[in-house]
A and B are shown apart, each in its own frame.
Chain A
Amino acid sequence: KNQVEQSPQSLIILEGKNCTLQCNYTVSPFSNLRWYKQDTGRGPVSLTIMTFSENTKSNGRYTATLDADTKQSSLHITASQLSDSASYICVVSAYGGDLGNDMRFGAGTRLTVKP
């Protein structure tokens, strides 16, 4: 079972609308949670990084929230643009001690913004 589950798998919205993507995880012990945007065939681009003590973090029109108690995170996109069409990937890192942190990736949410 994947330790990082994202929903929905895909989403289509109209330009200018808002949307929220979900990420649930079971990774433990928790170190940090990252959201990435990945255009098709290109490398992921970091949007936000949150540690255990952070509840929310913004990057322009992107706002991520984290509830470490329920092990849930969301990524809210405001006033969507055509260029927001991409896959959004949630990544959760676990403390590995001397082995270093291990990273677990969600399968991603494919967002399509239509004019």
Chain B
Amino acid sequence: DSGVTQTPKHLITATGQRVTLRCSPRSGDLSVYWYQQSLDQGLQFLIQYYNGEERAKGNILERFSAQQFPDLHSELNLSSLELGDSALYFCASSVPGGSLGSSTDTQYFGPGTRLTVL
């Protein structure tokens, strides 16, 4: 158990809908990362937040957005869902190594949310 929790575990929805995935980082971790893992594209980095602020952005679509709240939990919002958005969505958190964390901080992954878009 990494200490990172994600809800829900499974989510089934229809095309065009909007969903929200939730992540609670390990106690004390200020950085939260979101990743997408699909069968055809593998793991992809979406976005990173540090203490409520966006820190880095990867291959995140404009239909997707995220935020980190004052209690450090994070939410990933996916809208106008398409069949291709079906994937495992992972959240990870890391211990900050400095004022903005270190790029070599160990990331601890949650169990993931499996999203199925029908």
Contacts and interface: CB of A to CB of B under 8 A. Distances in A.
Interface stretch (B14-22, B52-60, B62-70): B52-60
Contact of A32 (B90, B104, B112): B104
Contact of B109 (A32, A41, A45, A103): A45
B80 interface: no
- Interface residues of A toward B: which range? 20 to 34
A65 to B, nearest CB: 17
Contact of B111 (A42, A107, A108): A42
B42 interface: yes
Residue with the greatest number of chain B CB neighbours at <10 A, chosen from A31, A43, A100: A43
Nearest to B54: A100
Given A43-B2, A43-B90, A43-B111, A103 B106 contact: no
Contact of B42 (A43, A95, A102, A108): A108
Nearest to B92: A43
A100 B104 contact: no
Contacts of A56: none
Contacts of B103: 31-32, 93, 95, 101
Contact of B56 (A42, A100, A107): A100
A31 B112 CA distance: 26
Given A43-B92, A44-B109, A105 B43 contact: yes
16 contacts: A31-B103, A32-B103, A41-B112, A42-B111, A43-B4, A44-B90, A46-B106, A46-B108, A49-B106, A91-B43, A99-B57, A100-B55, A103-B45, A103-B58, A105-B45, A108-B42
4 closest Cβ pairs, A-B complex: A100-B56, A43-B109, A103-B45, A105-B43
